[in-house]
Amino acid sequence: MIIVGICGASGSGKSTMARELRNALPCKTLVLGMDCYYKDHSHLPFAQRTHINYDAPDIFDYDELLSDITALEGGKPITRNAYDYTNHVRADTEELLQPPEVLILEGIHMFRDPRLCAKMALKLYMQVDPDVCLLRRVKRDLRARGRSIESVYAQYLETVKPMYDQYISKYIQKADFAVIGGGKNRLAIEAVRAYICSLLPAQYAAPPAGAAGKG
């Protein structure tokens, strides 16, 4: 199993890049988002959950993510994790995810744990202007996550920007290369696709144009 890691600021296009790569690859490809591995805080009152720093590196359960990756590497299925952004709780499912040929991991602190980094055949850092990331985050949170403009703005000032400056911006030093402009950079997608295909078995070495993987 080939593992690709994608890291970068909130709103930098990590999920888009992961999706574009999955669709471009000619083999079974699975994407795991780091947001699905938030530590469980369902025991806390909603008001208290809203004030948790969800951009801090220690908010994620790296051991759980590592356990799932190890299971997939061993040929065992895992259940799909999920997260309810509106209520700030885990929303895991019983859906089985079968081991893929390519596993794409994406998240703001995906390069934080050296155990995870050691498993990655390729590490991509999404390098996008912070102002662009903010505008994308506002649009996403208002439309898809039931947030108000006031809450998005407050969270950005209190946790998002400080955590980016302190931690996330520095992960570029661990990357193999940076992707400029966001997750729809076609040249970057094609370059990464070609590299991953070179690592796959012979039948995938020269995939036909337009071939797409499923995950």
Domain residue ranges of the chain, discontinuous segments joined by + = 2-202
Instruction: Give which of 102, 119, 78 is closest to 214, Cα–Cα.
Output: 102
Confidence check: pLDDT of 81 > 90: yes
- Distance of CA 168 to CAs 52, 56, 105, 175, Å? 18, 10, 16, 12
Q: Which residues contact 163 (CB under 8 A, 6 or more apart)?
A: 53, 55, 56, 57, 108
Confidence check: pLDDT of 43 > 50: yes
Confidence check: pLDDT of 201 > 60: yes
Confidence check: pLDDT of 210 > 80: no
Confidence check: pLDDT of 133 > 90: no
Higher pLDDT, 207 or 116: 116
Length of the chain: 215
- Distance of CA 116 to CAs 29, 121, 187, 189, Å? 18, 11, 26, 22
How far apart are the C-alpha atoms of 90 and 102, rounded to whole Å?
25
Give pLDDT, residue 131: 75
Can you say how many angstroms the Cα of residue 156 is from the centroid of all Cα atoms in its chain? 19
How far apart are the C-alpha atoms of 109 and 146, rounded to whole Å?
24
Confidence check: pLDDT of 109 > 70: yes
Residue 24: DSSP 8-state: H
Confidence check: pLDDT of 80 > 60: yes
Q: Which CATH number fits domain 2-202: 2.40.37.20, 3.40.50.300, 3.30.1010.10, 1.10.10.60?
A: 3.40.50.300
- How much of the chain exceeds pLDDT 70, in percent? 92
Say if strands 2-8 and 29-33 run parallel, antiparallel, or are unpaired.
unpaired
Amino acid at position 153, single letter: Y
**CB-based burial, 75-90: b 16+ in 10 Å, e otherwise:** eeebeebebebeebbb
Compute the Cα dihedral for 82, 85, 86, 87 and give only its sign. Answer: positive
Confidence check: pLDDT of 212 > 90: no
Could you read off the pLDDT of 176-198 as tens digits, one per residue? 999 998 888 999 999 999 999 99
- State the chain's mean pLDDT as an integer: 89
Confidence check: pLDDT of 209 > 90: no
